[in-house]
Amino acid sequence: MARHVVAPVSEIAPGKSRIVDVAGRSIGVFNVGGEFYALINRCPHEGAPLCIGFVLGRFTSDRPGEYRLERHGEMLRCPWHGWEFDIKTGQSWCHPESVKARTYNVEVVPGETLAKGPFVAETVPVSVEQNYVVVEL
């Protein structure tokens, strides 16, 4: 298990994401309302590049004619078959008990701390003035 600096916080705005290669794996890093989350860029259904899919909310309804949009910006829809996943947990909407997209721990770390190491900085240059998104895998 190693920690990888993947981007300055300022480069992934709320509601945005970035797909990064970390240790040979394609990972999607998402900013949901200022909090960062990371998911594997591979749908557990048929292997599609999950993280290029639309980010949306969850429509719910108690009865026909009544609709609510909840958790706006927290769901990820696969670009192929439309399976939806909770960005925060990787949980699948259609098979919540059995299907999960792999998630990774993410934290925001000040550049000053990073400069001390022992992080694997990959290709992202680190300056002490900024905060960075760090993914663990």
Cβ pair 74, 91 in contact under 8 A: no
How far is residue 89's CA from residue 58's CA, in Å, rounded to a whole number? Answer: 14
Write the binding mask 65 to 94 for other proteins: x where contact by CB under 8 A, - elsewhere: --------------xxxx------------
Please choose, out of 52-60, 103-111, 116-124, 126-134, the segment that lies near other proteins by the rule CB under 8 A: 52-60
Please report whether residue 56 would count as binding other proteins according to CB under 8 A. Answer: no
Cβ pair 36, 28 in contact under 8 A: no
Q: How far is the CB of 21 from other proteins (least distance, A)?
A: 16
Out of 9, 99, 109, 124, the only residue in the binding site for other proteins (CB under 8 A) is 99
Please report whether residue 109 would count as binding other proteins according to CB under 8 A. Answer: no
H helix or E strand, kind and range, residue 105: strand 103-110
How far is residue 60's CA from residue 67's CA, in Å, rounded to a whole number? Answer: 6
Out of 35, 70, 95, 136, the only residue in the binding site for other proteins (CB under 8 A) is 95
